[in-house]
Amino acid sequence: MTPEDLAFAGITAQAKLLRDREVSSRELVDLYLDRIATHDPTINAFREVFADQALEAAAAADERIAAGDDLPLLGVPVAFKDEVGIEGHVAGHGTRAFDIPAPADDEHVSRLRAAGAIIIGVTNLPDLAICGFTETEANGITRNPWGLDHTPGGSSGGSAAAVAAGLIGAASGSDGAGSIRIPAANCGVFGLKPQRGRISLSPEPEHWNGLSAAGCLTRRVVDTALWLDVAHGNVAGDAHAPAPPTRSFVAAATTAPARLRFAMSTSAPRALAPPLHSDEVEGAVRGIGPVLTDLGHEVIDRDPRYGTIGNSVIPRYLRGIADHAATVPHPDLLDRRTRGFARLGKIVPSRVLRRALDREAKEAERLNEVFDHADVLITPVTAVPAVEVGRWDGKGALRTVLGMSRVYPYTVTWNHTGQPAASVPVGFSSDGLPIGAMLVAPPGREDLLLSVCAQLEAALAWPDQRPDPTWSS
């Protein structure tokens, strides 16, 4: 196995190589540190790299492996989005507005460490995880490895870019309006938004009024399944606690699904402005229909009943931003546009937010009627391929949110309902940018998505596709 193949192998394969003593944790950490030093000055996926700590942890992991320890991720490097508490480090949330080191690891971090993972660094995100692009005054522009003039998406843009470029095997993400699925689609990797509450957000009980879920970005479906197996579970104080899975997520990802019916829909809900449309995106998404048919499944055309879903998601999103901004230690150091988002959120009356929350159950019931006719729903992830860097430069909060609602109309619906949804790579635009399809499952059925997406991965072979290592635009 070449060093590049090892870098792109994924955390499941790397964990096995470590257990079989075919590679050491020190070699893995050195490999990624070298790749980050070589490529990240161009891509800007990482906000901070913990080189010394990672090397120290690798040495300890190699000793434990030699002694027979068998934790699922022992010695495997991973990265975290720069919004979680890592003991002794300041989570920047894409800004300069935070300066207090975390007194302890957040629950998500703690569970990965308990599984033996080594945190190699933290990845860039937009201010307070608000936007579908990763460009900030504090940390600069994060670029798409498939086309440096284009965004990797957001808000988990640094994590997706790092995984796509082979700078790490897996990186955490969070998804409050599409922030795992949009970067996954833009960067040609796999991204699953789990069921709300599947991974604890502790010490926060919830985020953005329940819109947000934690997860990860990987190249392979089984790697996301492994991450979920070690990270899932709830603690006291969590606002949302779904029923526990009936089998391991890795078991789901390594078991072929039964014959299923898929509902195909390319009609987009409207949030604030009319959605954009791309024939290339629609063609790539519809192109997986024959693949599924060849695999023995049935594909029908059927649209969810979106209704006026924007009337519910916009208050939750904007008030969530305002509430988060109110907790920032130095709000004057937030980007000007971020302060504008906070002002927009402050004018959302509490009664409007309560109505939006109260509508969730009824709207989820209406939307999930599609599963009376199909097992899985397929839609685009984004209306168009990755937009150019600087699309919203100089624009205020209102013009930015209006523009984003046109480019990213599909994803936030399923944050409102809280159910799992995934992005899978399904092709490329004429200028070589990845395109993603979104698969949505009924509530609590990450296992179904993992099984189906792994079957699609085997058919489409997207992990074999890597961006040009010269990082040409």
Q: Which of 179, 265, 405, 429 is catalytic?
A: 179
Compute the C-alpha angle 322/327/328, nearest 5°: 100
Annotation marks residue 16 as catalytic: no
Q: Which residue carries 């699953």 as its tokens?
A: 192
- Pairing verdict, β 261-264 and 376-380: parallel
Q: Which of 155, 159, 172, 174 is catalytic?
A: 155
Q: How far apart are CA 436 and CA 59, in angstroms?
A: 38
Q: Which residues contact 352 (CB under 8 A, 6 or more apart)?
A: 315
Calculate the alpha carbon distances from 377 to 265, 301, 336 in Å: 7, 10, 38
Q: How many CB atoms lie within 10 A of CB 326?
A: 11
One-character DSSP codes across 142-204: --BTTBTTB---SSSHHHHHHHHTTS-SEEEEEESSSTTHHHHHHHT-EEEEPSTTSB--TTS
Tokens coding 428:
């490329």
Annotation marks residue 179 as catalytic: yes
One-character DSSP codes across 62-87: HHHHHTT---TTTT-EEEEETTS--B
Whether residue 271 contacts residue 402, with contact meaning beta carbons closer than 8 Å, is answered with no
Helix (H, G, I), strand (E, B) or coil at 136: strand
Classify residue 68 by burial, with Cβ atoms within 10 Å: 0-12, 13-18, 19+: exposed
In DSSP terms, which residues pair with 263 in a beta bridge? 300, 377
Active site residues: 81, 155, 179
